[in-house]
Amino acid sequence: MGKFLAGIACLFFSYSLLAQNPRLGDSLIKVYENKQMDYSEKLDILDKILSNKTEPMEARKYAIELIKTAKQKDCTSYIFYGLLQKGNSYLDPGDYNKALENYFEAGDYADSKTNQGILNIAIADVFSYTDNHSRAVEYYDKAIHFFREEKDSLNLAFALTNAGDEYMNFGKLTQAYSYFEESEKIFRLMNEPFFLSIVKGNLGMLDARQGRVEEAEAKLKQAIQVAEEYEQYNYLPIYLNTLSEMNLEAGRDSLAAEYALMSLDIARTYDFKDEIGEANLRLATIYEKQDRITEAYSHYKEHILFRDSVNNVAKAQEISGLRADYEISQKQAEVDLLSEQRKNQRLITILIAAISIMLLMILFGLYRRNRFIKKTSTIIEKEKERAERLLLNILPEDTARELQQNGKVEAKKFDSVSILFADFKCFTFKAEKLAPEQLIETVDYYFSHFDGIMEKYGIEKIKTIGDSYMAACGLPFPVRDHAQRMILVAFEMLRFVNDTKEKNLFKNADFEIRIGINSGPVVAGVVGTRKFAYDIWGDAVNIAARMEAHSEIGRVNVSENTYELIKEQFECEYRGKVEVKNERILKMYFVNASKQAVVSKPDESVTSRT
């Protein structure tokens, strides 16, 4: 919806949405990297870099630099800003847990009510993105309270707009209208035409939901015009999709398709992934209504590609069902044609030998019907098997069987497993240069080979998030040598990535990775009722992620926990300590080489499970 991004700058943060200048950011980075500066100059230039850079990995790097520099002299406001920007850098990749960790830490340095309000909007936005309505509204209301106390009208209007958007998303239209109306008055008094147009657009979407078609269309078109003037193209697909939905409900299918196609074109141009998925879903609905099954299937397939990285079984079955409907309709067309031929043939044969031909036609009809039923049953059986294969691709085999048999999966604790995290260097920067099809092919190339390596060593892939790959060894069947296996897997992943780059084994595949590993207890289970996902939780997982974050390109960084399990088999290099959750300090080691390659067979497991 029409929501302002919170936490972009320390004061009047949403202005930077219109003021960001990536080229200026690049120039400032060159100055920062090549010029000797005193403490104040460093803080100032890092502040300006973060105000003009939007690429998450790069922004995170300089946010960490700002935090480190500001902490030298306990400069509270800059520490707050650095943590806020570091949290923002995790939003685009969808790592909401890390975003919240940084936001909550920033709360210790929020030295004004304005900063506390900004921080609460940022936290509320995360809960909004994850559909946690009650928590989102709670933090929006806190932000509104702080801004009212501070008499900060502009930021109050931003908070009211985001809170109204949240209420609109969850169908509480009266509350949404009240919030939008108040923010509209503030933006009008402060002569802010762009922000006023966004609120107008939200009010237009409210009108659309309440059946006020003419008012909705006028407000949405006005909002689109202003967004184009200010080159804020991220709002356009949202408004165009609403216009498409309105026209579809009114029975104007052609106009609905036109608006949806415009939305899709803009979303593809600027790589707005959520809007690409939404526009494709809208087109699939329209074309399905028009019985244009092939086109509906094509757009629904593209919608799936831009959804969560772990596909869920329910939607996969919908795709299978759409394909099955198409195939069955083709078979039915053949049967209908044969039926017409049969009628004509019957008229001719009646003149010759009515009774004998009629009996033959009845027998032939029964044969054809039986044959059609068998073919249809075969198609349905194949689709059922395909859905089961998809379930086995998402969940471990025994977990999938338990889910099919019982309808749920009991969570299990494993006393000792090893967790691996790996991600690509400068992935977002390189990905921006690739077409969507090339990007998907490249990511699939790497992750498919990683999956093969995991299968070779009996290791369970947990999930992928953007360019991050997570796996665990020692579950769902415990093994004694989980740490040793994971180290061998990490080295094989590094060799594969290096060979791909040096030997140019795949077009556009020139990435580099870093890897982090930790060992310890975890809890594993299946989450979700519609989107099934096998996942693990525990302090050991968080520490593994920290090991990856502190690793270096082409290296395997392990925690002290893992080091104690592998030190007899591998040569390790001590590289210092790192602070982890609950103010704990752990040592880190680079794994350099193997002393001995004595690892149990992949199917050798411990007989008991906790």
- Predicted confidence at residue 381, as pLDDT, reads 66
Residue 558 belongs to some domain of the structure: yes
- Predicted confidence at residue 16, as pLDDT, reads 43
Residue 62's nearest CA partner among 94, 95, 89 is: 89
Residue 74 belongs to some domain of the structure: no
Residue 209 has pLDDT above 90, yes or no: no
One-character DSSP codes across 204-219: HHHHHHTT-HHHHHHH
Residue 109's nearest CA partner among 79, 88, 130, 133 is: 79
- Predicted confidence at residue 518, as pLDDT, reads 95
3-state secondary structure 119-145: HHHHHHHHHHHCCCHHHHHHHHHHHHH
CA angle 48, 52, 56 (to 5 degrees): 115
- Predicted confidence at residue 356, as pLDDT, reads 72
Q: Using omega within 30 degrees of 0 as the cis cutoff, is the peptide bond preceding 476 cis?
A: yes
Measured CA to CA, the distance from residue 227 to residue 235 in angstroms comes to 7
Pair 330, 273 in one domain = no
Residue 340 belongs to some domain of the structure: yes
For the chain, percent of residues with pLDDT exceeding 90: 21
Pair 259, 313 in one domain = no
Residue 117 belongs to some domain of the structure: no
Angle between helices 133-150 and 153-169 (to 10 degrees): 160
Pair 371, 478 in one domain = no
Pair 329, 445 in one domain = no
Measured CA to CA, the distance from residue 86 to residue 91 in angstroms comes to 9
Residue 4 has pLDDT above 70, yes or no: no
Pair 361, 421 in one domain = no
Q: Which residue has the tokens 């059946």?
A: 211
User: Final residue of a domain: which of 300, 321, 349?
Assistant: 300
Residue 389 has pLDDT above 70, yes or no: no
Lowest mean pLDDT: which of 33-42, 71-80, 372-381, 465-474? 372-381
- Predicted confidence at residue 334, as pLDDT, reads 47
CA angle 66, 69, 74 (to 5 degrees): 110
Residue 166 belongs to some domain of the structure: no
Pair 576, 432 in one domain = yes
Residue 522 has pLDDT above 50, yes or no: yes
Return left, alpha or beta for 277; rule: phi > 0 is left, psi -120 to 50 is alpha, else beta: alpha
- Predicted confidence at residue 8, as pLDDT, reads 30
Average the pLDDT over 455-473 and give the result.
90
pLDDT tens across 335-366, in order? 444 555 666 676 766 777 777 777 788 877 78
How crowded is residue 147: how many other Cβ atoms within 10 Å of its Cβ?
25
Average the pLDDT over 492-519 and give the result.
89
Pair 247, 359 in one domain = no
Confidence of residue 323 (pLDDT cuts 50, 70, 90): very low
- 30, two tokens: 């060159």
Residue 247 has pLDDT above 90, yes or no: no
Pair 435, 532 in one domain = yes
- Predicted confidence at residue 388, as pLDDT, reads 58
Pair 275, 313 in one domain = no
Pair 438, 476 in one domain = yes
- Predicted confidence at residue 543, as pLDDT, reads 92
Pair 432, 575 in one domain = yes
Half-sphere exposure (Cβ direction) of 507: Cα atoms closer than 13 Å: 7
Dihedral over alpha carbons 524, 530, 531, 535 (to 10 degrees): -10
CA angle 420, 424, 428 (to 5 degrees): 135
Please enumerate in sequence order all residues whose Cβ is within 8 A of that of 378, keeping only pairs 6 or more positions apart, or say none: none
By CB atoms closer than 10 A (0-12, 13-18, 19+), residue 235 is: buried
- 473, two tokens: 């060894």
- Predicted confidence at residue 335, as pLDDT, reads 43
pLDDT tens across 491-502, in order? 999 999 999 988
- Predicted confidence at residue 397, as pLDDT, reads 58
pLDDT tens across 475-494, in order? 888 999 999 999 999 999 99
Residue 578 has pLDDT above 80, yes or no: yes
Residue 549 belongs to some domain of the structure: yes
Q: What is the CA radius of gyration of the chain?
A: 29
- Predicted confidence at residue 564, as pLDDT, reads 94
CATH number at residue 517: 3.30.70.1230
More reliable by pLDDT, 312 or 548: 548
Average the pLDDT over 433-460 and give the result.
89
Confidence of residue 322 (pLDDT cuts 50, 70, 90): very low
Pair 324, 371 in one domain = yes
More reliable by pLDDT, 400 or 204: 204
pLDDT mean across residues, the chain: 79
> Which residue stretches of 467-559 are H helix?
482-502, 539-549
Confidence of residue 573 (pLDDT cuts 50, 70, 90): very high
Return left, alpha or beta for 119; rule: phi > 0 is left, psi -120 to 50 is alpha, else beta: alpha
Residue 32 belongs to some domain of the structure: no
Domain containing 312 equals 308-394
Confidence of residue 324 (pLDDT cuts 50, 70, 90): very low
pLDDT tens across 249-306, in order? 888 888 888 888 888 888 888 777 778 888 888 888 888 888 888 888 888 888 887 7
Q: What is the DSSP letter of 415?
A: E
Q: What is the DSSP letter of 335?
A: H
Measured CA to CA, the distance from residue 211 to residue 217 in angstroms comes to 11
pLDDT tens across 163-173, in order? 888 888 888 88
- Predicted confidence at residue 603, as pLDDT, reads 44
By CB atoms closer than 10 A (0-12, 13-18, 19+), residue 418 is: buried
Measured CA to CA, the distance from residue 504 to residue 502 in angstroms comes to 6
Residue 557 belongs to some domain of the structure: yes
Number of domains in the chain: 3
Residue 63 has pLDDT above 90, yes or no: no
